[in-house]
């Protein structure tokens, strides 16, 4: 206990900076309604203030790079669990559909069964009493899930204080839900499915289907990130910074498969750095196989990320014992590519079992035909993704979209976003004692980043946008793992900063924790 007291006093300057930071950022999110009923906000502020100080003290008690992975696991869990509880009901983009898939997985059904019908998902037109026509997706087809789905549908973006039905028991009856992310791989929903299973097994209130699903998904994310931080020999703080971007934690503390994508993406990059920095002749074919396996798991969750497998070609071949290692690298890339093609042949038809296939005038075949007949449209698409779409990505790191509320984007959080830009620029682009990567690694990583970015936008053009239009519907969350490549790509180095690396890591950790606390406070001021 004496050592804790000593560390508490020693770290006083740092947790005072933390308290000042969250005070400023919290004040920037306040509105008039927060002064009418400030009790919840005050309680939340006190909780994150104390929790932040505890985490800072814990960090200083494990103030070595070899133990940073422990700190990563603890801080992600501490702030992530509060986020999971405070974020409103299925507020995260597409979270209701992810919850449906998690509930189906909790039944032991890893490949959801589509119950077809005469009309599939075509829109039904009904004449109303006012003489007008209303449209709704056909409900006699879909995936069988718990009747409790209706609680989440009817209370989307509400908090538990806004509804009396969060204490209802989980229904044993079933209904058909039109979409359940059938095109996604089953392992992306195992953690959430375990949480939903436990909520049903212990006959808990209906809200725990969501909360336990979120918490188990968060535990999985914390494990992947801590494993990544432990494995990488360098750039531990920059990777952790990407993992703890508020938008990353927002997704990790939901039931979305984006948690798995971000976690696996950062772990794959960390393993690449480990291979790149390994000693000469210390690696063998099993390392190639493991890296290709990680890339495959990531790519099946989001196909453009299959391009990460090309990182293996950037590892110096002198690091391997086998002088013919290149042939195994190429074989691994080929296997991953074939697996991706086979998976896409399953996932594309599965995507048609979704409201997305009927929401827009979307048709992949017609869109491809339009591209062939209108080559100038391709130039317009490229111009758009490197201007407007790129702006959305950069501006969206502290922007939390909800499909239930089209005005969600009106919360710009300008001051916090600027703070986040400054912090990420310093950490990802100008990190002190930055490890050098050769030109091949930097240029190759940049090309892979562009492949994933353009590929993601192009797939959205085919599977989301109206034919002949560029309304591709992307958001910053699609590209979060790409930020972890920036320290490898950017060669900037300021020698005068090298002597401050030890101090910089400490300040960086304070702001990493501070931004996670700010995320919680922003939701407290917005919804409570």
Q: Give the pLDDT confidence of 289-335 residue by residue, as tens digits.
A: 999 999 999 999 999 999 999 999 999 999 999 989 999 999 999 99
**Quick one: pLDDT at residue 401?**
55
Q: Rounded to two decimals, what is the model's pTM?
A: 0.92
The pLDDT confidence band at residue 121, using thresholds 50, 70 and 90, is very low
* Beta carbons within 8 Å of 175's beta carbon, 6+ residues apart: 144, 145, 146, 147, 149, 150
* Cα(321)–Cα(137) distance, integer angstroms: 58
**Quick one: pLDDT at residue 133?**
40
Separation in Å, CA 358 to CA 234, 355, 406? 47, 5, 19
Tokens 């306040």 — which residue?
30
Question: Are the C-beta atoms of residues 467 and 367 closer than 8 Å to each other?
Answer: yes
* Cα(80)–Cα(370) distance, integer angstroms: 44
Tokens 């990190």 — which residue?
431
Q: Would you state the structure tokens that stand for residue 124, as one six-digit string?
A: 């039904």
Edge-to-edge strands, sheet with 174-177: 114-115, 142-146, 174-177
Per-residue model confidence as pLDDT tens digits over 467-491:
888 888 888 999 999 999 999 999 7
From first CA to last CA, the distance across the chain in angstroms is 37
* Cα(131)–Cα(376) distance, integer angstroms: 44
* pLDDT(407) > 60: no
Provide the percentage of residues in the chain whose pLDDT is more than 90: 66
H or E element at residue 411: none
Taking alpha carbons only, the member of 517, 392, 523 closest to residue 53 is: 517
Instruction: Report the length, in residues, of the chain.
Output: 528
**Quick one: pLDDT at residue 436?**
83
H or E element at residue 171: none
Q: Would you state the structure tokens that stand for residue 429, as one six-digit string?
A: 């682009």
**Quick one: pLDDT at residue 472?**
87
* Cα(122)–Cα(124) distance, integer angstroms: 6
* Cα(293)–Cα(514) distance, integer angstroms: 35
| Phi, psi (deg, nearest 5) at residue 101 | -65, -40
* Cα(268)–Cα(293) distance, integer angstroms: 10
CB atoms within 10 A of CB 333: 18
* pLDDT(2) > 70: no
Question: Are the C-beta atoms of residues 100 and 143 closer than 8 Å to each other?
Answer: yes
Average pLDDT over residues 363-373: 85
Q: Would you call 143 helix, strand, or coil by DSSP?
A: strand
* pLDDT(398) > 90: no
Strands, DSSP E only, in 19-163?
114-115, 123-127, 133-137, 142-146
**Quick one: pLDDT at residue 261?**
98
* pLDDT(44) > 50: yes
**Quick one: pLDDT at residue 123?**
44
Top mean pLDDT of 215-224, 321-330, 416-425 is at 215-224
Per-residue model confidence as pLDDT tens digits over 126-135:
444 444 444 4
* pLDDT(24) > 50: yes
Average pLDDT over residues 218-246: 97
Judged by average pLDDT, the poorest of 82-86, 300-304, 371-375 is 371-375
How much is the mean pLDDT over the chain? 88
Per-residue model confidence as pLDDT tens digits over 138-194:
556 788 999 999 999 999 889 999 999 999 999 999 888 888 899 999 999 999 999
Q: Would you call 174 helix, strand, or coil by DSSP?
A: strand
**Quick one: pLDDT at residue 131?**
43
| Phi, psi (deg, nearest 5) at residue 345 | -70, -25
* Cα(138)–Cα(238) distance, integer angstroms: 47
**Quick one: pLDDT at residue 212?**
98
Average pLDDT over residues 238-250: 96
Average pLDDT over residues 208-231: 98
C-alpha angle 260/151/87, rounded to 5°? 45
């Amino acid at each position: 206990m004496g050592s804790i007291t000593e560390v508490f006093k020693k770290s006083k300057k740092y947790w005072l900076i933390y308290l000042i930071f969250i005070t400023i950022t919290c004040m920037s999110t306040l509105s008039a309604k927060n002064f009418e009923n400030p009790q919840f906000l005050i309680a939340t502020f006190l909780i994150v203030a104390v929790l932040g100080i505890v985490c800072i003290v814990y960090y200083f008690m494990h103030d070595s790079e070899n133990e940073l992975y422990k700190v990563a696991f603890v801080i992600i869990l501490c702030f992530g669990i509060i986020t999971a509880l405070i974020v409103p009901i299925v507020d995260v983009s597409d979270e209701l559909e992810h919850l449906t898939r998690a509930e189906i997985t909790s039944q032991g059904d890893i490949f959801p069964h589509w119950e077809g019908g005469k009309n599939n998902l075509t829109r039904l037109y009904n004449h109303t009493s006012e003489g007008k026509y209303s449209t709704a997706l056909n409900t006699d087809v879909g995936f069988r899930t718990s009747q409790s789905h209706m609680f989440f549908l009817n209370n989307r973006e509400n908090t538990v204080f806004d509804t009396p039905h969060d204490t209802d028991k989980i229904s044993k009856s079933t209904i058909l839900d039109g979409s359940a992310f059938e095109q996604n791989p089953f392992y992306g929903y195992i953690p959430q499915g375990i949480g939903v299973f436990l909520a049903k097994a212990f006959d808990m209130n209906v809200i725990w289907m969501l909360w336990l699903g979120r918490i188990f998904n968060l535990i999985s994310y914390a494990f992947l990130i801590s494993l990544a931080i432990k494995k990488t020999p360098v750039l531990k703080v920059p990777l952790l910074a990407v993992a703890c971007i508020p938008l990353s934690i927002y997704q990790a503390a939901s039931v979305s498969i984006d948690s798995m994508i971000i976690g696996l993406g950062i772990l794959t990059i960390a393993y690449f750095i480990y291979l790149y920095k390994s000693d000469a002749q210390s690696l063998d074919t099993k390392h190639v196989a493991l890296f290709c396996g990680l890339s495959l798991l990531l790519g099946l969750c989001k196909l453009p990320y299959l391009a990460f497998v090309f990182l293996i070609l950037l590892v110096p071949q002198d690091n391997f014992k086998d002088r013919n290692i290149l042939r195994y690298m190429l074989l691994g890339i080929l296997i991953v590519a074939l697996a991706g093609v086979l998976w896409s042949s399953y996932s594309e038809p599965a995507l048609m079992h979704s409201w997305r296939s009927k929401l827009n005038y979307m048709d992949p075949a017609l869109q491809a035909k339009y591209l062939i007949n209108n080559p100038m449209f391709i130039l317009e698409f490229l111009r758009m993704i490197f201007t407007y779409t790129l702006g959305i990505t950069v501006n969206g790191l502290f922007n939390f979209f909800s499909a239930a509320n089209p005005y969600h984007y009106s919360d710009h959080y300008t001051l916090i976003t600027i703070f986040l830009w400054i912090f990420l620029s310093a950490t990802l682009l100008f990190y002190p004692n930055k490890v050098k990567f050769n030109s091949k690694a930097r240029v190759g990583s940049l090309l892979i980043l562009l492949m994933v970015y353009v590929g993601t936008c192009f797939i959205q053009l085919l599977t989301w946008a109206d034919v002949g239009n560029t309304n591709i519907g992307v958001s910053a969350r699609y590209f979060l793992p790409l930020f972890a490549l920036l320290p490898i790509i950017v060669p900037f180095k300021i020698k005068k900063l090298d002597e401050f690396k030890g101090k910089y890591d400490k300040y960086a950790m304070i702001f990493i924790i501070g931004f996670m606390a700010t995320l919680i406070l922003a939701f407290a001021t917005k919804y409570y």
